Structures are given as C-alpha cells and as structure tokens.
Structure 1
Amino acid sequence: MDGRVYRQKDCLFPSRCEGVDYFLNSIKEHIPNTQLVINFHDWPQVNKHFNQLLPVFSFSKTDEFFDIMYPAWSFWKGGPALSLYPKGIGRWDEFYEKLVQKSKIWTWNKKKDLGFFIGSRTSSERDHLILLSRGHPELVEAKYTKNQAWKSIKVCYKIHRNKI
C-alpha cells in the first residue's frame, strides 16, 4: 500500500519469504495498491473443482488449478541448497551470468549424456526418480536437496520393500 509491502509476520519458510520480499520490494512502485495472497508451498492451492477464482500467486501450477504463476522465490534470493551452494544459489539474475560464462567452457560436446535432477521432496512421486538413479546411475543422477531428503527413507522402504 502506498509504495510499501506489508505481510503476515509469521513465515512458514523464511528463505522463501525473504525471496518474495525481495521480489515485491523491487516492483512495489510499479503496481497500484493491491491485496493478494502468495502461496509459499510447493503445490498450487485454488482447485478448479470448487470453481472459485481467487487471487493466489503460486510458483507451481497444473491445469486443474486457477493459481496465477509468478517467478519462484529462488529466482530472487536463496534457492535450493546444493553441495556447491549450501546456502542456496542466491539471486537468479546474478547466478545466470555465471551459467553463461561456464557454458562457454563446458560446450555440449563436453557434457555427459545423462539426465539430472536435484530438488525438494514435495511428494512421494519423485521417489521413483531417485530410486531409478540409484539403480541405473548411467541413466540419471537424481538427488533431493538436504532439507527434504530425510522424508524419502520411510516412503521408499514402504513402497519398494518387496523389490529389495
């Protein structure tokens, strides 16, 4: 309101909130007085089944949801914690510059013919990719980020205990 950003004090994911704060503060002078909801979860919120159009901004979406897409929090600050970047990759615009430089050194003909995934464990559906990676590392290298990886141990064991 009036060039200022207000939000609920409590925050479920502090690094995500910090990234969204950064993003909103960088555009606040270009948008009118507005009230909106930003979804900090890894899944959309406004299911089309209930037929209610609500101004909920999310960084993930499927065709079954009305959520409005916006740039993920990791594009502005933080991002997934990887072994090379234990506190996250930081601002995407700055990280992108590094990627461009590295892409000049690592041309396509120097790269491995291998699938690659590192991300959060938002649901058990991704466990199958992790298990494929463990069983066939020549096909895909897949890992969970540190903050979520512990959840897969029980689920993977339950789902695949008969296959071990």
Structure 2
Amino acid sequence: MDGYGSLQKDSTKIFPKISCSTKCPQGLLVHNTEQRSEAKECPDYFKWIHEDLRPWKVTGITREMIERAQEVAHIRVIILNGIMYVEKYKQAFQTRDMVTLWGIQQLLALYPGRIPDLDMMFECGDKPVIKKQAHNISKHGSAPLPLFHYCSDDSSYDIVFPDWSFWGWPELKIKPWEILKKELQESNEETKWEDREPYAYWKGNTKLGIARRDLVKCNASSKQDYNARIYDMDWHHEKTHGFNTSDLVKQCTHRYKIYVEGVSWSVSEKYILACDSMSLIINPRYYDFFTRSLVPTVHYWPINERDKCRSTKFAVDWGNSHPKEAQEIGKEGSRYVQEN
C-alpha cells in the first residue's frame, strides 16, 4: 500500500489514498458485484447493529465525538466519494491496521459507488477500551466515544468490526478466510467425524491469559485423563521452521475442539467452529461481530470456565455416547461460520 512512511511520536501524518498496485494481492480483489448483490437475507449478525449503536441513539454521533476518540485510536478511516483516506496515530501490533485497511479497500472494490461517505476511528489492540464505568451516560450526561474495535464485552461500548485475520495474517502465514474456509471444508470431507480421535483438542499459545494456563492442567497425565489433548504453540519455532506444524487445515483431526480466550477474544474461534468437530467453548467474556448469535448445544457445547477439566470430560463422554447429536452440533457450528 503506497503512502505509508515512518510514524513520528509527536505528529500526526495524513496519508494519501490507498493504492494496491504494487503490494496488495490483486488476485483477492473482487470486482463482480452481480452475484453477491442478489442475496435476499442479511447475515444473522446484522441484527446486532442497532444494539451496538444504541448508546448514540439520542445524541447521534458528532464530529466532535469522533475527534475526541483520537486519544485512544490507532487509525482514522475516511471514505469520501468512494476513496479511502487514512490518518494514523500510533503503531499497531504487526500489520493489523494495514490488513484491516486492505479489507476495507476490498469492500470498496466489491461495491463500487455504493459505500457512503463515512468517518470512523479504529482501535487495533486486544482489549476493549471504551469502558462503560468511565463513560456512564446517565452520570456524565454525554454519549461515549464512538470507536470501532475487533471485540467488545458487556462492560464496554466498543463497536465490533471484523478482525484483520478475515483478510489473512501474513506474519503467521494464515490465509484469508474466504480461501481458508473452503480448504477446511475439503479437509472435513477427507476425515469423517467418526474416524477422528475421540478427544478434545486445543493448540495455541498457552502463555496468553489465565484461562489458557488453567486449561493446560486438563491435559492427560498418568494420574488423570480428562479427554483433553492440549498442545502449546511456539510461534517463534514455527517462524524459523517454515510453519510446519501450524497449518490450520491439518488440525481438524479430533471429534471435539476447544475454544479458549487469550488476553481477550481470539481470532481462532472461526477456525475451530469450521472443523465439523463439536466445539467446546469455555464460557467467553468477550465477543466479536458474529459470535453473539451462536446458540449453546446448537452450534457448540458450553464449558464451565470454573471447572474446565471435568466439564470437558463430561462433554466428550456425552458426545462419544451420543455420536449423532454430537456430529450435528459440529455440523451446525461449521454451517454457521461457512454461511455467515
């Protein structure tokens, strides 16, 4: 993307319009809008839009509110007459901001002339930042700062927006979701549910968050087997060894897959749900733009966060005793992320 220079600590730099002529993967740009525009129903998560914007229902969102959100934002995105302009305030982790902008650029290419002019502030960190306690509407008499973010929770006003990994994660060699979900679907056809390992599988960075460190205790040992198979992911090792053991397509090998949050929400949830395995979701605190419509025992099996090990063992024992029902939950979870 052209126009990006070094970021100075004491100044704000306005960058020119994004150009994908040299550095963006042109093969992923979609120009034909005819087929997509025929969709008769909005995705299920659209029903949350009004709820997310409820804090500004009375006041509306003013330019002054947007300007004040600069104090916590990484980037500002302005779309004017179909052209995107970016104002960058601070450096995001890896290339989260750049890939997010690339996703917005694809949206402009997908619907040329149909995206309205807009002005939005965006935060690219892990945790929500607009806390309800600090921006209490009834107490302070003013609306909170309007800030888009990858996740939120019940104690925050952050407005959820698809995370960068939907357009790929270059540093970890993770492909864009549109490509990866098809590969996962093909992998599911190759390894049927009944032929998979009859255990619950999780692989990731165990150092991120208390919940993950606690989950490690559920791993099988000589004294106890909670039907869980937990593996630590050393990303430094993966980077230096060609990402040989981190291929997501090769991780749909167990009948059950565990989702556990890290520092906050995790981008891994869609990959876990897409495996046709019955997803065991440890009660999450955070949500992203699509997970609030997931229904327990329909799309996944809920795991008690305070009793992870025994809760996991019960879920696996139940699933192995009720294979038809367990497979259906796995299929429904996959269907949800594939279609939405």
User: TM-score, length-normalised on structure 2?
Assistant: 0.37
Q: How much has 1:8 moved relative to structure 2? A: 0.6
CA distance in 2, matches of 1:145, 1:42: 20
Task: Say what the alpha-carbon RMSD is for the aligned residues.
Answer: 2.7
Indicate whether 1:99 and 2:181 are aligned: no
Alignment partners' CA distance in 1, 2:88 and 2:194: 49
Instruction: In structure 1, give the amino acid aligned to 2:129.
Output: Q
- Decide which structure has the larger Cα Rg and report it: 2
Output the CA distance in 2 between the equivalents of 1:12 and 1:43. 13
User: Does 2:175 match 1:90?
Assistant: yes
Instruction: Give the drift of 1:143.
Output: 2.7
1:117 CA displacement? 4.1
- Determine if the alignment matches structure 1 residue 6 to structure 2 residue 101: no
- What SS does the corresponding residue of 1:47 show, helix, strand or coil? coil
Equivalent position SS for 1:114: strand
- Give the 3-state SS of the residue equivalent to 2:88 in structure 1: coil
Is 1:143 paired with 2:258? no
Alignment partner for residue 33 of structure 1, among 95, 117, 123?
117
The structure 2 residue matched to 1:55, chosen from 128, 142, 146, is 146
1:68 is matched with 159
Q: In the comparison of the two structures, how many residue pairs are matched?
A: 141
C-alpha separation in 2, matches of 1:132 and 1:53: 41
Amino acid at match of 1:45: V
Q: Answer whether contact 1:77 1:90 (CA < 8 A) is retained.
A: yes
| Residue pair 2:220, 2:227 contacting (<8 A) in 1 also | no
The alpha-carbon distance between structure 1 residues 98 and 77, as it changes in their structure 2 partners (threshold 3 A), is same
Residues 25-84 of structure 1, C-alpha deviations (whole Å, 9 max, x = no match): 1124543232222221111111111224222122222111111111111111217x6xxx
Instruction: Name the residue aligned to 1:124.
Output: 210
- C-alpha displacement of 1:134: 7.2
CA distance in 2, matches of 1:109, 1:19: 38
C-alpha change, 1:94 and 1:120, in structure 2 (3 Å) is farther
Q: 1:47 to 1:66 in 2, by over 3 A?
A: same
**Identity of matched residues, %:** 18
Give 5+ residue unaligned stretches, structure 1. Answer: 82-86, 148-164
Q: Confirm or deny: 8 A CA contact 1:44 1:67 kept in the other structure.
A: yes
The structure that is strand-richer by fraction is 2
Q: In the alignment, what sits opposite 2:20?
A: none
**Structure 1 residues 20 and 144: alpha-carbon distance in aligned structure 2, compared to 1, 3 A threshold:** same
Q: Return the letter of the residue paired with 2:151.
A: S
Change (3 A) 1:7 1:18: same
Q: Rate the CA distance shift 1:119–1:91 in 2: closer, same or farther, 3 A.
A: farther
Structure 1 residues 11 and 35: CA distance shift in structure 2, 3 A? same
Paired residues of 2:220 and 2:228 also in contact (CA < 8 A): no
